[in-house]
């Protein structure tokens, strides 16, 4: 779902390398290590002085020097690398335990939306700036031909409909419409009849309605990452870019002279970062930092995995959509009411495993119906729960009458994406330097907003590395004074 849904992992992510037409030489080396999930099952070593470092099987030739090392090849990590390459003369290395699109990025629904943003909130300016940067990128790609932004980014200006069916939901939508309009967003409140005119397949009841944002967009995460990777790899010939996939980060290396962190040790390489090391490892960031940092450091960034299911149905001709759709209950991460017995049997333990299901729906560039979504705290479990998928299908059926009596054959013409959104309890990403480690930054915790906010986050991180004032206020996302051990 939009990154809104930034799910993690497709099935068996490590079995296939993400293809790129201009892969760097390092990415063509046969990989000796393949893991199913970042750092899973590996014992990671903490921050250590250089004299104690020796990567297993590594030699002096396995060390490489860069200006910036990025740990994490999701959309945020790759976008940071791209922004640095395009807007500075710095060299960049990206390391990941798997490959691009095998984490949260590859399983999302691709929303670039403003409909569920709150003007004046800490996230507002970052969302506005990020959408502007995506718009600029799409316009640039359109200007290059070759199929344009639709073909190369999966870019579609579908507009969004945030729908409600009760009087309480309609009151919420009317207030949201007013607030967004005052903030300069073109937003319209629609009655049930107007909603039906835009989306004949959708039923919101005679008392229902929607908020319509005509300028909202969606992209295809896999296509977007492919484009970003191609851009990044174009700098390989200049010696400014290298990638190290299927090569998990093991530890940070501290200089014995200055005490500063100067490198990342992976399973097979030592990557020196002269200016900065960026940890952009999504839902795995907390455990990774615990492994990286000395016991004396009490920093604890409470990012945790929030598991989600997303259903892609191919060649489904009973529902045709003209816009991206989301029920208003999704916005507040509410447990949507449903007749689903599985949901009714779930214990409501807030962040301890409670399940919520909200209807989201869109068509991708191939015309496949993409339905979401579920949320639950189940650690890093990657198992498909067919009862949850059934609940999602039933929930969608409450909005699309044509689906009501259509049985779902999960094994026929469907794809189920399982992912782990990097959830933060306060709802804000973490973007900033680690106190006492002045050249180590963290960029994580976007939950379902990673795809939407990747470009703005990349710009912010670049400004931090360069020491520039920055276009946005980064203080709401900083680490200092926000967390304790």
Average pLDDT score over residue span 81-90? 98
Tell me which of 41-50, 92-101, 130-139, 169-178 is least confident.
Answer: 41-50
- 262-292 burial string, b = 16+ CB within 10 Å, else e? bbbbbbbbbbbbebbbbbbbbbbbbbbbebb
Model confidence, pTM: 0.86
Enumerate residues 6+ apart whose C-beta is below 8 A from 402: 201, 318, 319
8 Å CB contact between 96 and 69: no
CA distance readout (Å), 202 to 197, 436, 467, 482: 10, 54, 50, 43
Kindly report the CA angle at 182 between 177 and 186, in degrees rounded to 5?
60
- Summarize the confidence of residues 198-203 as an average pLDDT: 96
What pLDDT does residue 47 have? 53
φ, ψ for residue 373, nearest 5 deg:
-150, 160
* pLDDT at position 332: 63
Ranking 204-208, 356-360, 410-414 by mean pLDDT, the lowest is: 410-414
pLDDT in tens, 294-331: 665 678 899 999 999 999 999 898 999 999 999 998 87
Q: Which of 323, 70, 291 has the alpha carbon at shortest distance from 202?
A: 323
| Residue 33 predicted with pLDDT over 80 | no
Q: Which of 35-44, 54-63, 439-448 has the lowest mean pLDDT?
A: 35-44
Nearest one of 424, 445, 205, 418 to 327, comparing CA atoms: 205
The per-residue b/e assignment along 386-403, b for 16 or more CB within 10 angstroms, e otherwise, is: eebbbbbbbbbbbbbeeb
Q: Tell me which of 55-69, 119-133, 432-446 is least confident.
A: 55-69
pLDDT at 410: 86
> Quick one: average pLDDT of 339-348?
36
Indicate whether 268 pLDDT > 50.
yes
Q: What is the mean pLDDT of residues 338-357?
A: 50
pLDDT, tens digit, 9 for 90 and up, residues 351-382: 555 899 999 999 999 999 999 989 999 999 99
Q: Quick check: 475 pLDDT over 80?
A: yes
| Whole-number percent of the chain with pLDDT over 90 | 68
- β 324-327/160-164 pair status: parallel
Peptide bond just before 373 cis, omega within 30 deg? yes
Higher-scoring residue by pLDDT: 408, 27: 408
388 is written with which tokens?
């949850």
Contacts of 474 (CB under 8 A, 6+ apart): 431, 432, 460, 463, 464
Q: What is the mean pLDDT of residues 131-140?
A: 97
Q: So what's the pLDDT on residue 39? A: 34
CA dihedral for 333, 335, 337, 340, sign (positive or negative): positive
Give percent above pLDDT 70 in the chain: 82
Q: Tell me the residue ranges of DSSP E strands in 226-382.
A: 241-244, 249-254, 261-266, 270-279, 304-313, 324-327, 356-363, 369-375
Please state, rounded to an integer, the average pLDDT across all residues of the chain.
84
Question: In degrees to the nearest 10, what's the CA dihedral of 367, 373, 377, 379?
Answer: -10
Query: How confident is the model over 225-266, as pLDDT tens digits?
Result: 999 999 999 999 999 999 999 999 999 999 888 889 999 999
């Amino acid at each position: 779902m939009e990154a809104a849904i930034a799910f993690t992992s497709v099935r068996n992510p490590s079995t296939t390398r993400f293809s790129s037409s201009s892969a760097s030489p390092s990415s063509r080396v046969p990989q000796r290590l393949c893991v199913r999930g970042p750092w899973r099952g590996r014992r990671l070593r903490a921050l250590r002085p250089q004299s104690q470092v020796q990567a297993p099987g590594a030699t002096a030739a396995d060390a490489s020097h860069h200006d910036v090392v990025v740990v994490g090849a999701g959309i945020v990590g790759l976008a940071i690398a791209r922004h640095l390459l395009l807007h500075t003369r710095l060299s960049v290395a990206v390391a990941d335990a798997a490959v691009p699109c095998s984490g949260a990025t590859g399983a999302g629904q691709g929303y670039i939306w403003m409909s569920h943003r709150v003007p004046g909130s800490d996230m507002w300016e970052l969302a506005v700036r990020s959408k502007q940067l995506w718009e600029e990128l799409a316009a640039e790609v359109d200007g290059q031909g070759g199929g344009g932004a639709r073909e190369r980014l999966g870019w579609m200006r579908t507009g969004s409909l945030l729908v409600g069916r009760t009087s309480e939901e309609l009151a919420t939508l009317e207030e949201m419409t007013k607030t967004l309009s005052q903030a300069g967003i073109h937003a319209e409140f629609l009655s049930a009849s107007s909603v039906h005119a835009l989306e004949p397949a959708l039923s919101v009841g005679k008392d229902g309605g929607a908020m319509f944002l005509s300028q909202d967009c969606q992209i295809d995460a896999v296509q977007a990452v492919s484009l970003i990777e191609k851009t990044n790899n174009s700098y390989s010939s200049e010696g400014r870019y290298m990638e190290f996939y299927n090569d998990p980060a093991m530890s940070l290396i501290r200089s014995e002279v200055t005490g500063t962190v100067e490198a990342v040790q992976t399973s097979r390489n030592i990557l020196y970062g002269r200016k900065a090391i960026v940890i952009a490892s999504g839902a795995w960031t907390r455990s990774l930092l615990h492994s990286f940092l000395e016991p004396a450091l009490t920093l604890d960034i409470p990012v945790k995995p929030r598991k989600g299911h997303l259903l892609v149905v191919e060649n489904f001709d009973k529902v045709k959509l003209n816009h991206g759709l989301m029920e208003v209950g999704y916005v507040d991460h509410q447990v949507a009411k449903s007749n689903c017995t599985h949901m009714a049997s779930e214990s409501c333990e807030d962040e301890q495993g409670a399940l919520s299901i909200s209807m989201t729906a869109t068509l991708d560039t191939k015309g496949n119906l993409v339905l979401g979504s579920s949320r639950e705290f189940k650690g890093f479990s990657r198992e498909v729960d067919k009862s949850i998928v059934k609940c999602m299908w039933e929930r969608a059926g409450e909005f699309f009458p044509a689906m009501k009596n259509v049985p779902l054959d999960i094994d026929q013409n469907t794809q189920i994406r399982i992912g782990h959104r990097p959830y933060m309890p306060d709802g804000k990403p973490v973007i900033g330097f680690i106190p006492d480690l002045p050249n180590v930054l963290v960029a994580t915790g976007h939950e379902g907003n990673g795809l939407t906010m990747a470009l703005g986050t990349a710009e912010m991180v670049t400004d931090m590395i360069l020491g520039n004032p920055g276009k946005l206020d980064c203080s709401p996302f900083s680490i200092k004074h926000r967390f304790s051990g």
